[in-house]
Chains A and B, each alone.
Chain A
Amino acid sequence: MIQVQNLRKEFGAKVAVDNVSFTVEKGEVLGFLGPNGAGKSTSMRMVTGYFRPTSGSIKIGGIDMLEKPEQAKKSIGYLPENAPLYSDMTVASFLGFCAEVRGITGAAKSKAIDRVLDLCFLHRVRNQSVDTLSKGYRHRTCFAQSIIHDPDVLILDEPTDGLDPNQKHEVRQLIKNMGKSKAIIFSTHILEEVDAACSRAMIIDRGKVVADGTPESLRKLVPGCTSMDEVFRSITRSDLEK
C-alpha cells in the first residue's frame, strides 16, 4: 500500500531525511522509532503529501503522491503531531467538515460521524466546542478525523502522546485492530508500544534508517542487549553526543 523509495529531504544545508526506503502492506503496522529530531515527523509529512521531498518517490496504493497528490491523499488518514483542530467548532461539526472535504455527504456523513464517535469514545462530547476539550479528547477528536473515510492507509504521528495510561491502552488496541485491514505507520518514542501494537519496527537516527525488522529481531540485533530499550540506546546517538 505504501511504497517509499530513496526519500530525501533537505532544509537548506541540513539533511533531515536521507535515503529512506520502505514498503508497508495491508495488515502491517510499522512503528517509527527514533530520538527527537531524527526525521520521523518529516518523513511522515512527506508520505502524507504535506512536504515535498527533495528527491525520491512515494506511492500510495500504486498512485504517485508527487504526480497525483489529490488522488493519492484520498486513501490516507493522517493524525499530525499535536493533533490540530479548529478551535471554534464543535466535535461533530469538525468531523462533519472533514467528511465533506473527503466527499462524504448527506446520510453517509452522519453515519461516518457516528461510527468514529463510537470508535474513539467521543459521544459524550459530541456537541462540545473543541476549545473546551481536555487534551485526551482533543487527541481522540483528531484521531477520529483521520479514520472518518475508513482509509486504507493510516499515518499517525505520536498518537499516544499526552494520553493517560487508560487512553494509551485504548489507542494501542485501536491501532492493533485496525492494522488487520489497513497499512499503518505510527511514530512513537515509547518503546513498549512497539511490542504492544507493531508487526514491524524501524529505527531512524539523524535521517537514516539504522534498523528495520520485527520487534523480535530488533531485540536480538545487538549482542548482549536483551530489551528494546538497550538496543535503542546502543544504536542511536543521544543529543548530548552531537
Chain B
Amino acid sequence: MKNSDIANTLAIFKREFLSYFNSPVLYVIVVIYLLASMGFTFFFGRFLDSDNASLTQTFFFWHPWIYIVLAPAVGMRLWSEEHRLGTFELLMTMPLSPWQAIVGKFIAAALVWAIGLALTFSIVITVSWLGDPDPGPIITGYVASYMYALGCLAVTSAASAYTRSQVVCFIVSVALCILLTLIGYPGIVDSVVRTLPGSLEQIVRFVSYLSFMDHFYEMTKGIFVIRDVLYFISVIVVALIITHLGLRSKRA
C-alpha cells in the first residue's frame, strides 16, 4: 500500500463520516438503537429478575434482531446516494481506485456503529455495580455484536451498489440479513432437519454453518473464537467484492 492509497481512502472516509453527522437519520437511528437494546434487555430479557451478572442472554441475545433493521438503515445511503446524486460519476473520474472508495466508505459506516455500540456502556456499569460479572463474556459479547453489525453493513453496502433507491436498498438488505440470520436459527434448523430425510442433514447443517447466527452464538458464549471472527471478516470481504462488481456494472 502506498501513501496515496491511504490518503485517498482517508479523504473518502472523512467525507462520508462527517456526512453522517449532517443528517438527522443518524441521530434517530442511534436513539432507536439505544432504546431497543436497553428495552429488550430490561423487558424481554428480564435482566433484573434473572439475578445473574451476565449479559449474554439478556443483552447481547437481542442484538442480531436489532441489527437486521438498523444496520441497513445506516448503510443504505453508502452507494445509492452516490448513484442518485450523480456524484458517483464524479468520484469515478477522480484519481482514486474504486477499492479506496469502497473501503473508505465502509470504514465510515463501521465507525458510526462503533460509536452506537460504545454508547451502551451504561449496561456494563449497571451489571458491574449490581453484581460481579466475568469480563471475558462481556468483551467477546461486544466483539460478537460488533461483528454482526459489520456483517449486516457489508451486505447493505453490496445492495446499495446496485440501486439508486435507498428504499429498495433498505428492503433488499433487510431481507438478506433476515435470511442470513434465520438459516442458522436453532429452532428453524432443527425443524428443517426433522422434516427432511436424514441424508440431507449434513447439507442443512452446512447451510446453517454459513449463517451469522451460528457464529454469533459461539462467540457470545464467552470463548473467544478466532474462527468466528475470521468468518465475519470473510463475509465482509465477499460483500465488498460484490459491491465492487456492482459498481463496475454501473460503468459498463
Contacts and interface: CB of A to CB of B under 8 A. Distances in A.
A145 B252 contact: no
A98 B94 contact: yes
Contacts of A100: 7, 11, 14
Majority SS of interface residues in chain B? helix
B85 A73 contact: no
Interface residues of A, number: 29
B95 A78 contact: no
B89 A101 contact: no
Interface in B60-115: 85-87, 89-90, 92-97
Interface stretch (B15-23, B141-149, B199-207): B15-23
Contacts, number: 67
Contact of A52 (B12, B14, B252): B252
Contacts of B94: 73, 98, 101-102
B109 to A, nearest CB: 15
Nearest to B4: A103
Contacts of A70: 95-97
A50 B251 contact: yes
Contact of A101 (B85, B86, B95): B95
Interface size of B as a range: 20 to 34
A29 to B, nearest CB: 20
B57 interface: no
A70 B15 CA distance: 20
B165 interface: no
A89 interface: yes
A101 B95 CA distance: 7
A45 B92 CA distance: 10
A45 B90 CA distance: 10
A213 interface: no
Nearest to A155: B93
Interface of A: 45, 48-52, 70-71, 73-74, 76, 78, 80, 82, 84-89, 97-98, 100-103, 105, 142, 145
* The 3 residue pairs across chains A and B that have the minimum distance between CB atoms: A84-B86, A100-B11, A73-B95
